[in-house]
Amino acid sequence: MLMEKSIPQTALVPDSDYIIFGGTGDLALRKIFPALFWRFCDGQLTDKVRLIAVARNSLPLDTFLDKLRPFCEDAFSTYDMDESLWADFARLITIMPIDIMSGKGGTELAAFIAEKKDDARPAIYYLAVAPALFGSACQLLSELDLVWPQSRLVVEKPLGHDYVSAEQINSQLKSVFSEDQIYRIDHYLGKETVQNLMALRFANVIFESQWNNNSIDHVQISVAETVGVGDRAAYYDKAGALRDMVQNHILQLVCLVAMEPPSHFTADQVRDEKLRVLQALRPLTKEDIVTGQYQDYEHELDGSSQTETYVALRMGIENWRWAGVPFYIRTGKKLSLRASEIVITFKPKPHDIFKKAGAPAGEDDLPNRLVIRLQPQEGLKLQLISKAPGPGGMRLFPSELNLSFNDTFSARLPDAYERLLMDTARGNQTLFMRHDEVLAAWAFIDPVISLASELAPSLYRQGTFGPADHFGGEDGSIWIDPSEDPGQ
Ligand code: NAP
């Protein structure tokens, strides 16, 4: 058995049943089961947990395990494990053929859960299936009498394609589960660095007094991907970057940067504050929107399309703290590198005592910046101006306080799904979206999508940072491109 199996800082979560509808699909294989495996390896899940993969088609358990194992193999190198841990984990898994639409196979699930059903044991139903099945899945669970106070429902994007459809999904979920039983995943919220953004803001005093329009010039959020749409083309073409990335992940990041400090770190207080940000977003005009499509996208799609694979927005938040501070956000596919970064640029100094008359602006004039790298190579950098060491007068140059999480913390950073799956068992909804947040995000994005549809996306070359925009006015581009290695 494993030496590292118990790690002191991981608290056990209640023994639970995880019932994963769509348990043989891509999301389950790539994310959900590997996350559970890591938690099992770390000793956070015990051998009393049961993991039930539900799919429409019957699949022998051994075949399923053979498919799953390569996705779990990262953990093998960390734990240098013998086969027994994998065998122990595999013993927790059951596979059940159930058709959500017809209900066929449901009674077997009900009997299985009834074996251990009690008021202390959560049953976590993870709907890793198309949203069109959410309503039927909830009804089936209700008919099978599988909904009681310890039952929890986990869903994730796409939660609708607009406000109206999101509301329909919400009402389907809420016709069976109460809001405090529904866990809407935005996996960005489970990322360590995203949680660290809250720690940075609310566990330190030095930033709060600067965190407003007196000191901050603008905020940029870039979520850049190198991959294209690949085999998701059919889905992606109906969604586009605004629905796929902005409505959920990027708006959540805007909320975490801009929210007021909640009084307590509790689910509803945090979500109340995020909701207020969404409700304060300035409605956009066409001049605030730039869309692009990478060259060859139509070829990959095998059809013509006006769908944006890149979008940049100039946003604003209408409240006292942020009035006049632009929030620039952009995301795109087939860009030059994969990186998610938030850059807070502070205002220029009010007076430069070092400047020589007539000297052109240079690197020693750069503003202070706080760069929060969300992925990969997670960390924080504070860009400052320092004196160049040695003789030669007061020569200034840009320098950095650099906190690389990988270098600072020897522990591996867990995947977002690990944290989120444990929170479902703990009953902690802080990192999950509430129904009114989802609707407020759609209420903001729907008009943006409508305006964007009137703009022809500019074609951009693959391996660049997308099409040019005019947000910088005559001064040119405002964007600060993430670097390959944020430590440099
Ligand atoms: P997928 O690979 O196509 O898998 C779909 C799963 O749903 C399969 O296990 C399938 O079982 C099952 N299923 C389909 N119809 C069913 C029915 N009537 N009754 C019971 N099970 C049924 O899809 P996926 O990529 O995992 O995505 C699932 C959902 O998560 C989608 O809504 C997707 O947008 C969302 N999502 C996916 C990802 C990701 O990384 N993949 C990320 C975020 C969100 P059979 O094969 O037996 O039919």
Distance CA(18)–CA(9), nearest Å, equals 23
Q: Is 26's C-beta closer than 6 angstroms to any atom of ligand 1? A: yes
Over residues 186-209, the pLDDT tens digits come to 999 999 889 999 999 999 999 999
Nearest CA to ligand 1 atom 5: 25
Residue 23 alpha carbon to ligand 1 centre in Å: 8
Q: If one looks up domain 9-156 in CATH, what number appears?
A: 3.40.50.720
Between the CA atoms of 202, 154, 151 and 69, what dihedral angle is there, to the nearest 10 degrees?
-110
Which atom of ligand 1 is the closest one to the Cα of 23?
A: 9
Q: Is 25's C-beta closer than 6 angstroms to any atom of ligand 1? A: yes
pLDDT in the model for residue 359? 73
Element (H, E) at 194: helix 192-202
Domains of the chain, by residue range, sit at: 9-156, 189-414+434-475
Which atom of ligand 1 is the closest one to the Cα of 102?
A: 18
Catalytic-labelled residue, pool 187, 218, 249, 435: 249
Residue 128 alpha carbon to ligand 1 centre in Å: 5
Query: Do 9-156 and 189-414+434-475 agree at the fold level?
Result: no
Distance CA(55)–CA(100), nearest Å, equals 9
Which atom of ligand 1 is the closest one to the Cα of 56?
A: 47
Residue 161 alpha carbon to ligand 1 centre in Å: 17
Asked if residues 482 and 224 have their Cβ atoms less than 8 Å apart, the reply is: yes
Q: Is 130's C-beta closer than 6 angstroms to any atom of ligand 1? A: yes
Phi-psi region at 10: left, alpha or beta (left = phi > 0; alpha = psi -120 to 50): beta
Distance CA(307)–CA(405), nearest Å, equals 36
Q: Is 243's C-beta closer than 6 angstroms to any atom of ligand 1? A: no
Q: Is 101's C-beta closer than 6 angstroms to any atom of ligand 1? A: yes
- Going by pLDDT thresholds of 50, 70 and 90, the confidence category of residue 9 is low
Closest CA to 131 of 98, 97, 161: 161
Q: Inform me whether the pLDDT recorded for 273 exceeds 60.
A: yes
CATH 3.30.70.660 fits 189-414+434-475, yes or no: no
262 alpha-carbon distance from chain centroid: 21
Question: Ligand 1: which of 21, 129, 134, 189 to mutate, judged by most atoms within 8 Å of the beta carbon?
Answer: 129
Q: For residue 220, what are its two tokens?
A: 């940029």
Q: Which residues pair with 222 in a beta bridge?
A: 330, 341
Phi-psi region at 155: left, alpha or beta (left = phi > 0; alpha = psi -120 to 50): beta
Q: Is 27's C-beta closer than 6 angstroms to any atom of ligand 1? A: yes
Distance CA(95)–CA(355), nearest Å, equals 70
pLDDT in the model for residue 36? 97
Q: Is 99's C-beta closer than 6 angstroms to any atom of ligand 1? A: yes
Task: Give the residue-averaged pLDDT of 285-302.
Answer: 95
Task: Give the residue-averaged pLDDT of 45-61.
Answer: 95
Over residues 335-360, the pLDDT tens digits come to 999 999 999 999 999 888 887 777 77
Which 3 state secondary structure label does DSSP give 423?
helix
Distance CA(330)–CA(312), nearest Å, equals 4
Kind of pairing between the strands at 151-156 and 123-127: parallel
Percent of the chain with pLDDT over 70: 96
pLDDT in the model for residue 81? 65
Task: Give the residue-averaged pLDDT of 255-275.
Answer: 97
Residue pointed to by tokens 């074609």: 459
Asked if residues 386 and 399 have their Cβ atoms less than 8 Å apart, the reply is: yes
- Going by pLDDT thresholds of 50, 70 and 90, the confidence category of residue 4 is very low
Closest CA to 319 of 287, 282, 268: 282
Q: Inform me whether the pLDDT recorded for 10 exceeds 80.
A: no
- Going by pLDDT thresholds of 50, 70 and 90, the confidence category of residue 410 is low
Q: Inform me whether the pLDDT recorded for 363 exceeds 80.
A: no
Q: What is the phi/psi pair of residue 61, to 5°?
A: -55, -40
Residue 471 alpha carbon to ligand 1 centre in Å: 39
- Going by pLDDT thresholds of 50, 70 and 90, the confidence category of residue 6 is very low
Residue 439 vs residue 402, higher pLDDT: 439
Residue 181 alpha carbon to ligand 1 centre in Å: 22
Nearest CA to ligand 1 atom 9: 22
Q: For residue 156, what are its two tokens?
A: 């994730």
Active site residue 351: no
Over residues 423-468, the pLDDT tens digits come to 999 999 999 999 999 999 999 999 999 999 999 999 999 999 999 8
Which 3 state secondary structure label does DSSP give 385?
strand
pLDDT in the model for residue 360? 73
* C-alpha dihedral sign at 270, 272, 273, 274: positive
What are the b/e assignments for 317-354, b being 16+ CB within 10 Å? Answer: beeebbeebbbbbbbbbbbbeebbbbbbbbeeeeeeee
Q: Is 435's C-beta closer than 6 angstroms to any atom of ligand 1? A: no
Over residues 140-169, the pLDDT tens digits come to 999 999 999 999 999 999 999 999 999 999
- Among 39-43, 90-94, 313-317, 326-330, which stretch is predicted with the lowest mean pLDDT? 39-43
Angle subtended by helix axes 435-452 and 251-258, to nearest 10 = 120
Residue 412 alpha carbon to ligand 1 centre in Å: 29
Which 3 state secondary structure label does DSSP give 323?
coil
Q: Is 56's C-beta closer than 6 angstroms to any atom of ligand 1? A: yes
